[in-house]
Amino acid sequence: MAELKVLFKDIDVPGIQTLEVYEQHGGYSALRKALGMTRQQVIDEVKASGLRGRGGAGFPAWIKWNGIPKDESQPHYVQCNADEGEPGTFKDRELMLRHPHQLIEGIIIAGYATLSKVGYIYIRGEYTEPARVMRRAIDEAYRAGYLGKNILGSGVDFDLYIHMGAGSYECGEESAMMSSIMGERGQPRLKFPHAPLPTIAGLWNCPTLINNVETLSCVPAIIRNGGAWYASMGTEKSTGTKIFSVSGHVNKPGNYEVEMGTPLMELLELAGGVKGKLKAVIPGGSSVPILPADKCDVNLDYESLQAAGTMLGSGGFMVLNDTVCIVKFMRRTAAFYAHESCGKCTPCREGTRWMVKIFDRILAGGGRMEDIDLLLDICDQIDGRSYCALGDAAAWPIRASIKHFRHEYEYFIKHGHSMVEAQAEHSVGGR
Amino acid sequence: MAEQELVTIEINGIELQVPKGEMIIESAKRIGVDIPFFCYHPRLGKEQAANCRMCLVEAGTKQPDGSVRMMPKPQTSCTLPASQGLVVFTDTVAIQKARRGILEFLLINHPLDCPICDRGGECPLQNNTLFYGPGVSRFVEEKRHLPKAFPISDYVVLDRERCIHCARCTRFSQEISGDAQLEFLKRGADTMVSTFQNTEFTSRFSGNTIELCPVGALTSRVYRFRARPWDMKSQKSICTRCSNGCNIWLDYRPNRLVRVLGRENEAVNEEWTCDRGKFGHEYISSDRRLLSPLVRRDNRFVTASWVEVYQLIASRIRQAVEERGAGAVGAIGGAHLSNEEAYLLQKLMRVAVGTNNIDHRLERNQVAGGDTLLARLGVPFTQTAIADIEKAKTIFIFGADLVDEQPIVFLRARKAWFRFGAKVIIAHPEPTETELRFDEPLVLRYRAGTETTLINGLSHLILQSGRAVTDGISLEELQASLSEYTPARVAQETGVAEDALREAANLLGEGTVILCAGRVRNHPEYAVLANALVNLTLLTGNGSRGNGGLNILLPEVNSHGAADMGVLPDLLPGYVPVNDREARERIERIWKASLPAEPGLSTQGMLEAAAEGKLQVLYVIGEDIAQKYHDPELAQRALENAGFVIVQDLFLTDTAQYADVVLPAASVAEKEGTFTNTERRVQRFWKAMNPPSPDVKPDLNIFAELAVYLGKPLPVFSAEQVMEEIGQVFPAYAECCYDQMPAEGVRWMPTLTDRGK
Ligand SMILES: Cc1cc2nc3c(=O)[nH]c(=O)nc-3n(C[C@H](O)[C@H](O)[C@H](O)COP(=O)(O)O)c2cc1C
Ligand code: SF4
Ligand code: SF4
Ligand code: SF4
Ligand code: FES
């Protein structure tokens, strides 16, 4: 099987970042079409497409769209999540850097469907170059009348703002992002049933549609070709295509758009095959459980990956060969979550730092056998008890790594050094 | 009040009905189920809560078929609203484990310095660990280290090692006090509470964060290391530092006040105190307290016995009355006395001395007590109950820096805006701190001296808009009298833009609460301004009905009580004019004495007379007039030239330096009685400690004993008995009998006057 390009269909067209070239390739025809449809028709088309959120959770997009109140007693907002902080994920970067108008068109359509007049693209702070491209594209779209007052004479208004992040992974979490946009400390907010859904009370307590860059970038093609067309790709419950950001020990790392349900091993081949011997794959960004090589015979869609004990997540597809020491790898992962914990809730704030300290001690040769179960128990005490999903995400990878590679931990603790590195030294004749 | 919708929920198998939306942590209390918590606080918004995760419960919902669908994760009960069919389990094995986990997490970086921690013994972290925590910790790493005992103000010291990041203090400073002085810095395990760039914590309400902090992270520098909670006693009291009447606890060791804590009273201070109150009662246990009576001999003070001083005072008063008449004697004071004492003081002066020369006022305005308001609105000073400020549609803060002058009233005003969306207008000639505590209030920056013009201008606009209400005033007459206050002219005179005037006028209406303080009380043309304010109040429909009202807030702890008790030269207790024969005779019958019928001298009058050598005896009780009188120089001249000066106080004040006799009085902690706060609420306080020496007496005893020496005994056995007599003389106080007084106190209603509400 090869790539199946929907989002990337025109990505290699020279100058597709410019409005002119984008329009030559059918750009903004979806918007014109949508403006000729009723709002509900647009939502129904998204429903028919079966599109699910690409930010990580895979929530059906149309349910959020449809959940926005159908009256205009309050302002409505579209919040496009372009924070892309998930380690191993770099698809939104490419979508913004190389195909900005596709995203803008998707956002405007979403705004039309949800009666929103204002949209925010919250761009990861480090993404200065994609932000510059987006800025240029937004300016072009304003000049061409796709943004601003009375879009294309339809009577519909829509303004789009870029809000730059400041380097916090947690601000990619949708409610923390709301706090950040509103000028508050970048910490998450109460969720349903403790507070209304963002579709009812999001930004400034007004209805807010929150979708990922990739999710929204799918929208123009869906409107142009119809939801049924989109749903004809992929599997029954995971429709369409998905971009995987393949990194690590492969010969051709990069973003690959494949049909949902593509076998994992085929994606590895597309990326030029594994460098060396495959040890494990982390298919959906650092937050999802690790998949050891012997479990990699699985298809890439929400359901299959879940059945295999991991998740599709953001599509940050990290490939590990047998030179990787799982203990050291997990120490790095734990350090990431400890560093990115916003500090609001007890389990994540204290638990993530504690785990790093345990890892550091193990790495320094001071590990105790009971540390393995202690790590597992700390994971249990964080998972499901924390305020937002960052805590859960800090626990899952470590727990899975112990489940699949416990012997590496035991070796490290017993010998005070890495099993993998010891073997490597041995195989090169023990320097 | 609208009936609240009830829902049926189940907690640990017990079915109960609770208001829809009530937090489950509260519902659990109803059936005696204890859910441990740290960050939850019913007065703080839940938006920033749910962070400690101590209150987790398992929850699910009943399905139509009777089965229960459980939520996949445990839920924080402090933010989980009650809904129909909610099923909650608070004590499952999983929850017990979760609680142990949370406490283990909270303790891994905790210094566990309980033996030297001021919170020890009353620490939620200790308590929850005792009941729900793990017996041992599995943490073997290095703990977090931060500077200990980091002072962030004169009052507060921060120990970041002990902080559990519950955000109570930061939420208080953002939501309640509004000064946003505390915020979290950094993130993750490095998160720490801080002021902006470690500058001084200058909140006027910082003491509350000490009480809110569930650990010993924020502690009091004043109380530091003074006591352990188990070896001190507590007594209920009332703060004496302003007229709001906050309820407090006095915590003391045998004869030393060690700290003040806020005490709950929903009607007054909820549970808050301002820093003046919290830290401002150190005087009680000061070692500079007077310990015995003093008499001036050869220009030095020497100690004397009470018998000696009483005899001396009595003879000097008798001599003055004989030589110059009772008008040659005068008494100043009362705003710091209890009601019972203030009552007895005026009775002493009127009955035993025979003069109406008595006044408690030190400010400039000394027109007859509460004159304009009493006549036109039926209340002496304030229409709105403090708690009702919350219900205001518009808060109009006029000429007051409320956060400074009336801190607890300010908190209610801010709550009305922050929680309930009231509109806020602030009129003041200068920028005030209060303005900073609201987001973009409508500010009217008028020129000082144009107060009346401003108010008349607003009334004029409301009349013009046709929104004016007839409430005991003739709108035509008013229209005519205000016709010249056109917006253009008012804008020109006051310096407030016409637009702003119109915007303000639009916000004024039914439900407007007007809050004024010192600037209005001391206005050179108080009566004119007060009339203008009353007009505005009436024509916005806040006269006898409505949620709004006019409030001229008072300065001292018992300013209101002193006025109620008739510590005024022209009014007897209950605002009875001394020259109203019939009413006076009623009181004469109760007192079995005849009373002087001519109004006496006001404070200003007495001081002027004394300065001219016309006052033979000047008796000053609990007021440092040499410092605090609005014209201190006049007070000093008066003290110099008065024939004989008696000063009764806790300290050898500047005023006492002029005295011939100094009488040592007991503090609020050493006696009992009642105070009447600025909203007319009569509240009890109780005796905590003995006075610092047996020769220090409550003012009540001093007045009663002096009466004996003056040959007109006023038999008094207790404050309680005086209150009963007050109730007879001034029936509005009849409900204030000690055995009937509810915990919230009694807000007396001016039924006697029958002039509105
Ligand atoms: C800690 C954390 C970080 C997240 N970061 C991102 C992110 O960088 N980009 C993103 O699209 N979604 C992120 N999410 C998911 C968002 O909360 C949210 O589910 C998503 O933006 C919804 O859009 P979608 O429905 O289109 O996927 C994150 C979630 C968590 C818990
Ligand atoms: S789990 Fe808690 S500490 Fe961690 S990021 Fe979420 S809210 Fe912050
Ligand atoms: S805060 Fe509580 S637990 Fe911590 S040292 Fe003080 S008393 Fe002990
Ligand atoms: S200082 Fe006290 S109140 Fe403030 S966050 Fe820390 S523990 Fe909570
Ligand atoms: S009390 Fe509920 S989370 Fe802190």
Residue range A224-267, pLDDT digits in tens: 999 999 999 999 999 999 999 999 999 999 999 999 999 999 99
Is the bond leading into A193 cis (omega within 30 degrees of zero)?
yes
Specify the pLDDT at position A430.
Answer: 45
Of the residues A321, A353, A374, the one at which a domain ends:
A321
Question: B40 CB under 6 A from ligand 5?
Answer: yes
Phi first, then psi, for residue B754 (nearest 5°) are 55, 40
Place of tokens 């009577």: A155
What letters, b where the CB count within 10 A reaches 16 and e where it falls short, cover A186-211? bbbbbbebbbebbbbbbbeebbbbbb
Domain C-terminal end among A262, A295, A321: A321
Tell me which residue of A101, A155, A88, A121 sits closest to A319, measured CA to CA: A88
Nearest 10 degrees: Cα torsion A367, A370, A376, A382:
-80
With contact defined as beta carbons under 8 Å apart, do B597 and B624 qualify?
no
CATH label of the domain that carries residue A186: 3.40.50.11540
- Residue ranges of domains in chain B: 6-103, 107-220, 303-367+559-732, 382-552
Closest by CA position to B656, among listed B630, B627, B633, B629: B627
pLDDT at A322: 95
pLDDT digits (tens, 9 = 90+) for B56-87: 999 999 999 989 999 999 999 999 999 999 99
Residue A361 lies in a domain: yes
Would you identify the CATH topology of the domain B107-220?
Alpha-Beta Plaits (3.30.70)
A40 and A25 share a domain? yes
| Ligand 1 pocket test, candidate residues A212, A333, A382, most atoms within 8 A of CB | A212
Q: Do A186 and A73 reside in the same domain of the chain?
A: yes
Is A380 a domain residue?
A: yes
Name which of A137-151, B40-54, B370-384 the model is least confident about.
B370-384
| Cross-chain Cβ contact A346/B56 below 8 Å | no
Domain spanning B382-552, CATH architecture: 3-Layer(aba) Sandwich (3.40)
pLDDT, average across residues A275-285: 97
Residue A310 within a domain: yes
* pLDDT value, residue B757: 30
Q: How many domains does chain A have?
A: 3
CB distance B119 to ligand 3 below 6 Å: yes
Query: A343 and B56: CB-CB below 8 Å?
Result: no
- Spatial contact of B382 and B552, defined as CB atoms under 8 Å apart: yes
CB atoms within 10 A of CB B752: 15
Residue B488 touches partner A, C-beta closer than 8 Å:
no
- Contact residues on chain B for A191, CB-CB shorter than 8 A: none
A341–B139 CB contact, under 8 Å: no
Do A418 and A297 share a structural domain? Answer: no
Q: Which of B76, B108, B187 sits opposite A341 (nearest CB)?
A: B187
Q: What is the pLDDT of residues B231-267, one digit of tens each?
A: 999 999 999 999 999 999 999 998 899 999 999 999 9
What is the band of B370 on the pLDDT scale with cuts at 50, 70, 90?
A: low
Are A385 and B139 in contact (CB < 8 Å)? no
Given a cut of 60, is residue A55 above it in pLDDT?
yes
pTM of the predicted protein model: 0.94
Q: In this structure, what DSSP letter does residue B68 have?
A: E
Are A160 and A273 within one domain?
no
Are A63 and A31 in a shared domain?
yes
Cα A39-A42-A44 angle, rounded to 5 deg:
110
Residues with CB under 6 Å of ligand 2 are A 170, 188, 341-345, 348-349, 386-388, 390-391
Are the C-beta atoms of residues A281 and A401 closer than 8 Å to each other?
no
Q: What percent of chain B clears pLDDT 70, i.e. is strictly above it?
A: 98
pLDDT computed for residue B47 by the predictor: 85
Pocket of ligand 1 (CB under 6 A): A 53-57, 59, 81, 83-86, 169-170, 172-174, 210-212, 215, 388-390, 393
Q: In what order do the strands lie in the sheet with B218-220?
A: B150-151, B156-158, B218-220
Residue A309 maps to a domain: yes
CA distance B519 to B306: 42
CA of B216 to the centre of ligand 3 (A): 5
Task: Tell me the residue ranges of DSSP E strands in A249-290.
Answer: 254-259, 262-263, 278-282
Topology at the third CATH level for domain B303-367+559-732: Rossmann fold (3.40.50)
Is ligand 5 within 6 A of the CB of residue B37?
A: yes
* A–B CB contacts, 8 A cutoff, strictly below: 106
CA distance B195 to chain A (A): 15
Q: Express as a percent the part of chain B with pLDDT over 90.
A: 93
Give B343-354 pLDDT, tens digit per residue. Answer: 999 999 999 999
Do residues A426 and A313 make contact, with C-beta atoms less than 8 angstroms apart?
no
Going B516 to B521 to B524 to B528, the CA torsion angle's sign is positive
Q: pLDDT, tens digit, for every residue of B411-430?
A: 999 999 999 999 999 999 99
Contact A211, A90 (CB under 8 A): no
Question: Measured between alpha carbons, how far is residue B657 from residues B3, B11, B149, B198, B652 in Å?
Answer: 62, 68, 41, 43, 7
* Average pLDDT for A388-407: 98
Q: Find chain A residues with C-beta within 8 A of B80's C-beta.
A: 193-194
Q: Which residue blocks in B284-440 are alpha helix, DSSP H?
A: 306-324, 339-347, 371-376, 402-405, 407-418, 433-436
Chain A residues with CB under 8 Å of B189 CB are 338, 341, 343, 349-350, 352-353
Residue A236 lies in a domain: no
Nearest of B41, B273, B252, B275 to residue B156 by alpha carbon: B275
Query: Is there a domain that residue A1 lies in?
Result: no
The Cα B484–Cα B389 span in angstroms is 33
pLDDT at B756 over 50: no
Same domain, yes or no: A310 and A402: no
Length of chain B equals: 757
Residues A129 and A162 in one domain: yes
Task: Over range B150-176, report the average pLDDT.
Answer: 97
Q: Are residues A84 and A216 in the same domain?
A: yes
DSSP B471-528: SSS-HHHHHHHHTT--HHHHHHHH---HHHHHHHHHH-STTEEEEE-HHHHT-TTHHH
The pLDDT, as a whole number, for residue B750 is: 79
> In Å, how far are A228, B41, B42 from B37, measured between CA atoms?
51, 9, 12
Answer yes or no: do A102 and A173 share one domain. yes
CA dist B365 and B724 (Å) reads 31
CATH annotation of B6-103:
3.10.20.740
Residue B368 banded pLDDT, cuts 50, 70, 90: low
Answer positive or negative: Cα dihedral of B177, B179, B185, B187: positive
pLDDT at B271 over 50: yes
CB contact under 8 A, A345 and B81: no
Task: Let me know whether A163 and A305 are in one domain.
Answer: no
Which is more confidently placed, B471 or B439?
Answer: B439
CATH classification of the domain holding A290? 3.10.20.600
How close is the nearest chain A Cα to the Cα of B719, in Å?
52
Instruction: Please report the pLDDT score of residue B2 as a whole number.
Output: 56
Same domain, A271 and A295: yes
CA distance A311 to A53: 13
Position B471 pLDDT exceeds 80: no
Model pLDDT, residue B716: 82
Structure tokens at B439: 């987001």
Distance B446 CA to ligand 4 centre (A): 41
pLDDT of B1 reads 47
Name the residue range of residue A257's domain.
249-321
Average of per-residue pLDDT values in chain A = 97
Residues A49 and A88 in one domain: yes
What confidence score (pLDDT) does residue A428 get?
A: 61
Residues A297, A282 contacting (CB under 8 angstroms): no
pLDDT tens, residue by residue, B98-146? 999 999 999 999 999 999 999 999 999 999 999 999 999 999 999 999 9
pLDDT of residue B543: 86
**Cβ distance A103 to A93 under 8 Å?**
no
Of A190, A346, A353, the CB nearest to B102: A346
| pLDDT (mean) for B508-532 | 95
**In ligand 5, which atom is closest to the CA atom of B40?**
1
- Is residue B752's pLDDT more than 80? no
Q: Do B188 and A342 touch (CB under 8 A)?
A: yes
Each residue's pLDDT tens digit, B680-711: 999 999 999 999 999 999 999 999 999 999 99
| Average pLDDT rounded to a whole number, residues A23-32 | 98
| The two three-digit tokens of residue B384, written as one number | 């709105």
Residue A283 has pLDDT above 70, yes or no: yes
Q: Which amino acid is at B711?
A: G
CB B373 within 8 A of CB B680: no
Q: Is residue A82 part of a domain?
A: yes
Mean pLDDT for A58-83 is: 97
